[in-house]
A and B are shown apart, each in its own frame.
Chain A
């Protein structure tokens, strides 16, 4: 006698034995105790507006610098401020002083997490 296929479908396929496919922990199943500092470096784009103004002025005056004195000054001041700020930020990161707050950089976070590591 022919058994209708619907009867098999109701039971479904028998599950695979777990012994045949043992679980492999390819990466450790817990979070690391450190964060990488990659995201903190941020993008390097600064003074785009000043640069645009400088280009506009230079193009109008056929690349003669003495007519664009104001724009050049603004551009260079902006870049200098940016570099100074970056330098100061780097210095504070390297000091590694941990202060309370939610806006921590990666070195401070690493210091915190070293104190409270994941249980092994």
Chain B
């Protein structure tokens, strides 16, 4: 209580308290993975400037991955990230089990079976990324569905959203990790509902290509 009181007095003296954020001259924290991409002359720049504290979800392990972290955030509901993390790791476990089983069933082509669940997730997301998107634009009182190119970031978002939407659309008896695992496995092999959805979007864009010049910011 005393602490709050002191802060209140301080803020009244200085007029306004600045937001709790790092000043502009602070550099972003670097992960080891990012440091390997930079060459030495670029790294020397960071020797003498203060660096911001690392983010909570940053990690230097070889298992940390951007797509994995994003996927975890998209699974999260009501801020319950611990649950999301558990669900994702359970998903990976199911994928790993399924792929290992497949590996033992077909001993002839062992090279073709990928048992790395994290690689499979990345592959699935890459396979289900759309190139274009339809947006509704009003011209002369009529709404046209116009194909527009999308940024890389949005294409990743859409791919992961579609994967999760497909996974959430299930019976109540089946748990999410199981469904998600099968969707990921399907998408990684270039088949399934998510890939079909992506192809549908592309086909719609193709049939509406005549409206492409209606694009307007």
Contacts and interface: CB of A to CB of B under 8 A. Distances in A.
7 contacts: A51-B209, A52-B212, A65-B131, A76-B149, A79-B149, A80-B152, A83-B151
Interface string A73-86: 00110011001000
Interface residues of B, number: 17
A43 to B, nearest CB: 6
B165 interface: no
Interface of A: 41-45, 47-48, 51-52, 54-55, 58-59, 63, 65, 72, 75-76, 79-80, 83
A45 B215 contact: yes
B217 A48 contact: no
A80 B155 CA distance: 13
Given A45-B213, A48-B212, 17 more contacts: A43-B216, A43-B217, A44-B215, A44-B216, A45-B216, A48-B213, A51-B132, A51-B149, A52-B209, A55-B209, A63-B199, A63-B202, A63-B206, A65-B131, A76-B131, A76-B152, A80-B152
Interface in B14-28: none
Interface of B: 131-132, 147, 149, 151-152, 199, 202-203, 205-206, 209, 212-213, 215-217
A75 B131 contact: yes
A79 to B, nearest CB: 4
B131 A72 contact: yes
Contacts of A43: 215-217
A80 B212 CA distance: 18
Nearest to A41: B217
From DSSP, what is the main secondary structure of chain A's interface residues? helix
Contacts of B213: 45, 48
A55 B216 contact: no
Contacts of A58: 202, 206
A63 B200 CA distance: 9
A63 B203 contact: yes
Given A43-B216, A44-B215, A45-B213, A55 B205 contact: yes
B162 to A, nearest CB: 16
Nearest to A44: B217
A54 B205 CA distance: 11
B201 to A, nearest CB: 10
Contacts of A55: 205-206, 209
Nearest to A71: B131
Contacts of A44: 215-217
Residue of A41, A51, A76 contacting most chain B CB atoms (<10 Å) = A51
A47 B199 CA distance: 21
A51 B149 CA distance: 8
